[in-house]
Amino acid sequence: MLDFDASPRLRMLFYVARRRVALGFVVAIVSFIFATPTWNSLGFGVPIAVIGEAIRVWASGHLVKGKEVTTSGPYALVRHPLYVGSSVMGIGFVIAASSWLVAAVLCCYLIVMIPAAVLLEEATLRAAFGDIHARYVAGLSAPMVRQFSVQRVFENREHHALAGFAVSFALLCLLAGV
């Protein structure tokens, strides 16, 4: 359990990280207002974003939140594959949106939110799993043998991200066609 009273830094990270979804909606609205997609920009950006979402789905299909330090699938390669996937999706969206303002807004959002979420998540895992997490961070954990599970994808609510992905790129396609 995290002790927010003992660590003002953790309290601030919690405050920032817990607002990332709501602020993400604001960033999305601003992005759609200033996006100037073309069919060419969509042709380059969408495949990159698809790769990012595929990374997120792969990670979600292995993740068991709050019960373990997951080391299977992409977690055997990188500690935070969901955030890697989100970053790749963001790059794809920026390319598809074809706007320097969208690039600046989205990059600022990612530069603030992802490190805050990672630091808070690391502190939470350290508090909950101690030496197991420390061994994982040090690269001393053996990867778990676990198959990808569509059920875990749904349990981790990645279908919400998939729906947001589809709607976002559908809106960009509409903007490109106008």
Per-residue pLDDT, 10: 76
The distance from CA 176 to its chain's CA centroid, rounded to whole angstroms, is 26
Tens-digit pLDDT profile for residues 124-144: 899 899 999 999 999 998 888
Residue 113 belongs to what H/E stretch? helix 100-137
d(CA 8, CA 74): 32
DSSP string of 6-67?
A: T-HHHHHHHHHHTTHHHHHHHHHHHHHHH----HHHHHHHHHHHHHHHHHHHHHHTT--TTT
When pLDDT is cut at 50, 70 and 90, the band that residue 11 belongs to is confident
Considering the chain, what is the average pLDDT of its residues?
92
When pLDDT is cut at 50, 70 and 90, the band that residue 19 belongs to is confident
Tens-digit pLDDT profile for residues 63-77: 999 899 999 999 999
When pLDDT is cut at 50, 70 and 90, the band that residue 61 belongs to is very high
Residue 119 belongs to what H/E stretch? helix 100-137
Per-residue pLDDT, 111: 93
Per-residue pLDDT, 173: 95
When pLDDT is cut at 50, 70 and 90, the band that residue 159 belongs to is very high
Q: Say how many C-beta atoms besides its own lie within 10 A of residue 161's C-beta.
A: 20
User: Residue ranges per domain, the chain?
Assistant: 8-177
d(CA 50, CA 58): 12
